[in-house]
Amino acid sequence: MKDTELVGAQKTLTPVLKAKALDNRLPDPILGDQYAERVMRRLDPDYDNGRSGTSQMGLVAVVRAKAHDDWARSFLADHPDAVVLHLGCGLDARVHRIDPPATVDWYDLDYPAVIELRKRFLPPREHYTQIGSSVTDLTWLERIPRGRPLLMIAEGLVPYLTETEARRLVTSGIDAFPTGQIQIDTVSVWAWRSSKWNPMLRKYDTQFNCGFNDPATLADWHPRLEYVDEAPMYDAPVLMAKAPPNIRRTYRLLNLLPGLKRSSRIVRFRF
């Protein structure tokens, strides 16, 4: 199977993976994910050919991945008995990058077609389970052990859900676990509403289904949920320090556009 057999939102895993693969070629990468380069080559052997084949404009997605990794590492250092739910995992190799101790049980979840690709391209490991299901069909939650701290990571997923679906996912996780951390990213209402004209999403025949101008207010979804903080994305110091000069300049200019800098936000909650 190739990515041509993925449909709609499933295809959006490709540009993110490609960005991580290209980051790994930088002399001083942001994420330094060797799996991404290998998996991207298998998914599309020609991925770096063509006019924009090696453009580093996607590095902002790598900044997002690094922020999620850093938060996850710090939570797991404090909670080595945690259960990790990595939702809408795509072909991301987070479990291998983070390499948690054997006391952590890690679950990667995405649509069955994506999990089938993962099983071909990425190695198995102990205390690691992959589940092929829509995140919105919450019967998968019955397979997850309870009574331990929960780390819920949803990178690049929430905008593809409706607000009702995202809320049900988050509140079901909180109701099922005693304590935990939830890290997600969201798009603004403008980015959501205009997503039907977004060229990348049009190409993949999909669009966003929810957006929030102040994602901190998502803490209102559940009485036990508390907003912690936000990680920078388009103006992240790591992007300005490590991106090639032409990409840095482009992002500096883009950040002057009203709304762009805050069009995508990475936020962390605890309960």
Ligand X SMILES: C[S@@+](CC[C@H](N)C(=O)[O-])C[C@H]1O[C@@H](n2cnc3c(N)ncnc32)[C@H](O)[C@@H]1O
In the bound state with ligand X, the residue whose beta carbon lies nearer, of 21 and 135, is 135
Residue of minimal Cβ distance to ligand X: 90
Minimum gap (Å) between residue 14 Cβ and ligand X: 8
List own/partner pairs for 49-54 with CB under 8 A and 24 or more apart. Answer: 54/22, 54/25
In the bound state with ligand X, the residue whose beta carbon lies nearer, of 116 and 224, is 116
Identify the CA nearest to 130 among candidates 88, 179, 75, 77.
Answer: 88
In the bound state with ligand X, the residue whose beta carbon lies nearer, of 209 and 213, is 209
Please provide residue 141's backbone torsions phi and psi, each rounded to the nearest 5 degrees: -65, -25
**Helices 34-43 and 112-121 meet at what angle, rounded to 10?**
110
In the bound state with ligand X, the residue whose beta carbon lies nearer, of 80 and 112, is 112
Minimum gap (Å) between residue 219 Cβ and ligand X: 22
3-state secondary structure 126-181: CCEEEEECCCCCHHHHHHCCCCCCEEEEECCCHHHCCHHHHHHHHHHHHHHCCCEE
Minimum gap (Å) between residue 80 Cβ and ligand X: 24
Q: Does residue 225 contact residue 271 with C-beta atoms inside 8 Å?
A: yes
Minimum gap (Å) between residue 56 Cβ and ligand X: 17
Minimum gap (Å) between residue 16 Cβ and ligand X: 4
Residue holding tokens 């397979």?
Answer: 143
Residues that bind ligand X (CB under 6 A): 9-10, 12-13, 16-17, 65, 88-90, 92, 110-111, 114, 134-136, 155-157, 160
Alpha carbon 147 to its chain's center: 25
In the bound state with ligand X, the residue whose beta carbon lies nearer, of 98 and 224, is 98
